[in-house]
Amino acid sequence: MRLYIGLVHYPVYNKHGRIIASAVTTVDLHDIARAARTYEVRRLFVITPLEDQRELAQRVIRHWTEGYGAEYNPDRKDAMERVRVVPSLTDAEAVIEAEEGDAPVVMATDAAGDQGRGIGYSEARDIIAAGRVVMVLFGTAWGLDRKVIEGAHWVLPPIAGKMDYNHLSVRSAAAIILDRLVGGSA
């Protein structure tokens, strides 16, 4: 399986609809890395242009892969070794292309939904199962900038709960979507 995920911190929206660079949240790194390991994702890219945020993420990764944390929790080490911090989506795509020899099919997530280039989870699973290189993008803050969504090949359906409340944490959404894409249940 040639599946990658990107945790995008820029460009994303704030609650006022302005494009921002959001802060890296260490719990997102831990939880999404563990989900990535659980579902055999090759790499989780943390995407932020902010140098201080990249340094924070690197410090957390080093703690769990090289420091005391690596000895204390080898399972966390295994998960955190899949994380790579890059300044842009373009950099993440270049790393994937260098590693795989193919550019990734990019699937964006969008809690609001996208009428134009939507793809169902069944069709997305088929693309992944066929061995295509795929990168799924998750937006932080209030979601991915429309230009990122428009630049994706496909847009996955939003997660719909039982009520009209739709504001999951990105780590919860990532786990649910990974399970829908590559989990054992259909």
Per-residue pLDDT at 111: 83
pTM to 2 decimal places: 0.95
Indicate the number of domains in the chain. 1
Looking up tokens 């989780």 gives 44
Residue-level pLDDT at 185: 64
Q: What confidence score (pLDDT) does residue 114 get?
A: 62
Buried b (16+ CB within 10 A) or exposed e, 135-172: bbbbbbbbbbbeebbeebebbbbbeeeeeeeeeeebbe
pLDDT score at 18:
98
User: Residues 91-123: pLDDT tens digits?
Assistant: 999 999 999 999 999 999 998 776 578 999 999
Per-residue pLDDT of the chain (186 residues), as tens digits, is 999 999 999 999 999 999 999 999 999 999 999 999 999 999 999 999 999 999 999 999 999 999 899 999 999 999 999 999 999 999 999 999 999 999 999 999 998 776 578 999 999 999 999 999 999 999 999 999 999 999 999 999 999 888 777 778 999 999 999 999 999 765
Range of 151's domain?
Answer: 3-182
Instruction: Note the pLDDT of residue 88.
Output: 98
Provide the CATH number for the domain around residue 58.
3.40.1280.10
For residue 154, the Cα-to-chain-centroid distance in whole angstroms is 15
Residues for the chain: how many in total? 186
